[in-house]
Structure formats: structure tokens, C-alpha cells
Structure 1
Amino acid sequence: MSDYRYLEIGRDGPVAILKLNRPEVLNACNPATHREIQAALEELELEEAVKVIILTGAGRAFCSGSDLREVGKFEGEEAKRYIRLDFSTKNRIATCSKPVIGALHGHVAGGGFEMALACDLRFVAEDVLFSLPEIKLGTIPGSGGLQRLPQIVGLGIAKEWAMTGRRIGAEEAFRRGLANAVHPNDRLLEETLVFAKDLAERSGLALALAKVALDPAPPAADGMIGFYHRLASQACHDDPVYKQQAGSYTKKGGDD
């Protein structure tokens, strides 16, 4: 495997564990993190011994979304390029030929929530808090979450969560079908590994075919939805409300 700055990659038999490793910012993503995730998935997909991939985060959160200390300064074409990169990362997870299971704890916010939605399955810790706080900043989720969330929890619930930005705990996530299982924090990875190893005993070809059949047309970064999100992001970011709220967010250190 290549060397990565913002990721840790481990193995347990046929299962690869891909861990976001920026705990000092609750694993918030910058452009380099996105590029590393995509490169790691390419490598793991080609590694025949790997049958299932677990995606998780170091420290006290899975992922708090985009790192606004860096990304929040992007404007114009730079902002559009980042939206496309972010969108393509979620698509790379969703279209991986091997099952990707999210092992999620702490904050799963914004782009981190959208990353979790791109996974095939989601196992969560009792302390998990999902949220789409973009609406509070004066913008919208921009990397496929608005398309994937209704497929999982239904349109009405998806609208409520996206329009309010409120936090969703483990019990509600499980009840709504967002979480496949809830485990104590100290047993989350262990229990996810048990499931992943059992899944790895299935035919890899059959699993890949099932993924394609269940989700035959994920939204493309360069398709209509991806283009819409780049335009929407630019419009929202040019709005004085976003500039004020994003500035306040970065000064106070994020959604914690």
C-alpha cells in the first residue's frame, strides 16, 4: 500500500479497515484527504485478498464534514473544483465493487454524513450523532447526500433532517433504517469486524452484482446532479448569510 498522511489502513483477514486519521479536527476532510480516500479505495479494490472494507474514523468522531478552516476560504473555480472532488469521493465509495461498511461513532456531520450514506451498510456506536448542519450555514449538502438519504429513510424524514439540521442519535437512526445495528462504543469495531468477516465468505462477484442491481445509477459528479450542486454551492457561498455563518463557525472551531 502507498503511504498516506491522513489515513490509516489495516487488515484483519479478508477485511481491510480504512480509518480517517485527522482526529485533531474530528476527521474533517480537506482536498488531500479526499484524494487519499479515492486512491486507497483503488488499491484495496485491486487487492484480491481484501473482500470487505470497513470505513471508520480515529479519535472521538467519524467525520465532521469538510474542514471549513481550509475549504471555507475557497471561492469561484476553486470552490467548484472542491465540490466536484468531494462528490467524486462519495461516488467512489458507493461504486466500489467490494462492500463498504461504515463503523460510525461520535459526530457524523455534513459531508461526513454524506460519506456514511455512500457506504453499503452503517453500524453505529451508542454515542453517534448524525447531522446535516449545512442549512444553518446558509447552504445545502453538496456531495450526493440529498439524493441518497431519501432512499434510506424516506422522503419526508430526509426533508426534515436536511431542512432543520438537527442531530439524530443512535436510537432514531436505527428506527429510521439509517443504522443497520447499534453497539456499545467499545465494541463497535469488533462487532463490525464479525459481520464483515461473515460477509467476506460470500461470493465477491455475487456481492458486486447485488450492489449494482440495488443501486444501478448513482449520481455522477459530472452529471446533472453534480453540476447542480456546483452551481448551488456557488450561489449559497456568494450569499452574505453563508459568509457570516461560515466565518462564525470557523472562529468557534466547528460543530462540537
Structure 2
Amino acid sequence: MSGLRITVADRVATILLNRPEVLNAMRSEDHRALHQACDELEARDDVGAVLIRGSGRSFCSGSDLREIGDITGAAARDYVRLDFTTKNRVAGLGKPVVAAIHGWCVGGGVELALACDIRIAADDAVFSMREVALGSVPGSGGLQRLPAVVGLGVAKDWILTGRNVSAVDAERRGLVTEVVPAAELAARAHALAAELAGRNPTAVRLAKVALDPRPEPDYGLVAAFQTLAGDACHGDPLYLESTRKYTDKRGKP
């Protein structure tokens, strides 16, 4: 079963990433479940907005390296394509999507947040894009979306260094629009999503498309680059060595 839980209240569908034991790291089945959830929520008349948040101590720690840390070749290409198309589906949802971010938001977790329309962070949130430090590259839209949000220079700094970014710095750079105490995050994010859910859905959809044109095609130039880049990086000895502690099933997640 996937690590997602979906509830609906006040015309807001909350997608809860529910694998707290691994800081909500996502597996292939979770990506497929998220894609399917977007399809289903798109069609529901009782849903006007979507809220994505994580359970436990983290929003999302990215891809589960215990699944993908040692895959190469066709398997690596298939995973990158799946991850890329899932984030595109979130970004292309016709309804507004709010991310409520607390704790660790790492790698693919940042890319998931970037696929959302509005991001609110708890004051304990920490952002980090560690792919380059691990010997790979962001594979699901981060290379394209982060510069558009925080500027090219800042994006280069964050991606190339993989350094931790505090919630305060994320707000200062525009990655998140608001920082609230951790205890208030869920309520504040739900209230914002409920406010958006009350808007004219046609106006919301048109505004989203005009402000941010549809995501890169799933099988276009960017998708091809990400697939080939992931394949090349996953086969590199440095990447395999840096992810060994995750792929060793005897180790802790």
C-alpha cells in the first residue's frame, strides 16, 4: 500500500505523506499513488483546493534511497521518469495546491513543494537539495522551478552546495510565503486552502495557467535530459558509494 492518506473537509483535500518512520521518503508506489490522487481529486466537485503535508517529524525527505540508491540503467531511467511526471501532475493540477512544510524538506521533497502553488513553512522547517552532494542531480523539476522562484544565483548556491536552508531564509528568498509556529502550521495551511477553495474554480484555473504555463512536457527536452542525467549519475561510483548507507538494508533509514 502507498504511504498516502487522503481526507476531505471544507472543500479541501488533504494529502498526507504518511511514512514517518523514513521521514516520508517516497517510493515508486507512492509516486504512482500521488499521480492517481491528483487525477481523482481533479474530477471531484466537492474539492476546490488541495493541501499536501507530511506526518511525523518531516514534510518529505525525497526519494527513498533504499529503493533507488543502487539502481542503474533502465530501472534508474524509469524511476526518474516516474518522479518527473508525478511532480508535473501536481504542478498541472487545475485546482490550487498548498504545501504545509515542517521539519526536513529534502531533495525530492523540495521539488514536491516547488510543484505546489503556495508554500507555508513551520519555523522548524529545514530545506536542502542534496542531490549534487550525493553525486546526482535534482530529477523532478527542481533545476527548472527553483531558479524561477528564488533567482538563478540563489538556486545555484543551494543546489551546488546542498546546504541547509532555514525557514526564515526560505521566506526571505521567496521559497515560502509565510512562516508560522510549528503548532499552528496545520490550521493555518488548511485555512488558506479553504479560502482558495471558495474561489471561482474557472478563474483559479485560468489564473494558474496564465501565471505559470503548463509544466515541461513529460516526454520533452527537459524530461529527456533528466532521464539521461539520472542514468549517468546513478552509474557513477561516487554516487553508489555516497548512497551505500541507505541501500544497506541493515542500516537505519
Matched, 1:157 2:154: yes
Seen in structure 2, the aligned counterparts of structure 1 residues 60 and 233 have a Cα distance that, compared at 3 Å, is same
| Aligned twin of 1:16 | 13
Matched-pair identity in %: 49
Question: Which of the numbers 56, 79, 84 marks the counterpart of 1:82?
Answer: 79
Offset at 1:250?
Answer: 4.1
For normalisation by structure 2, the TM-score amounts to: 0.96
What's the secondary structure of 2:137's corresponding residue? coil
Give the letter for the 1:97 counterpart.
G
Give the letter for the 1:47 counterpart.
R
With CA pairs under 8 Å and 6+ residues apart, which has the higher RCO, 1 or 2? 2
Q: CA RMSD in A?
A: 1.2
* Structure 1 gap segments, 5+ residues each: none
Q: Distance in 2 between matches of 1:129 and 1:177?
A: 14
What's the secondary structure of 1:230's corresponding residue? helix
| Aligned twin of 1:112 | 109
Offset at 1:5?
Answer: 3.3
| Aligned twin of 2:95 | 98
How many equivalent pairs are there? 251
Q: Distance in 2 between matches of 1:183 and 1:250?
A: 35
For normalisation by structure 1, the TM-score amounts to: 0.95
For 1:59-78, list aligned pairs within 5 A: 59-78=56-75
What's the secondary structure of 1:65's corresponding residue? coil
Listed one character per residue, the Cα deviations across residues 63-82 of structure 1 (whole Å, up to 9, x for unaligned) are 10000111113221111010
Q: Distance in 2 between matches of 1:203 and 1:217?
A: 20
Question: Which of the numbers 19, 29, 41 marks the counterpart of 2:26?
Answer: 29
Higher deviation after alignment, 215-224 or 40-49? 215-224
Question: Which of the numbers 238, 241, 245 marks the counterpart of 1:244?
Answer: 241
* Structure 2 gap segments, 5+ residues each: none
Offset at 1:102?
Answer: 0.3
- Determine if contact 2:92/2:214 at 8 Å carries over to the other structure: no
Higher deviation after alignment, 215-224 or 180-189? 215-224
Moved over 3 A (4+): 248-254
Give the letter for the 2:50 counterpart.
I
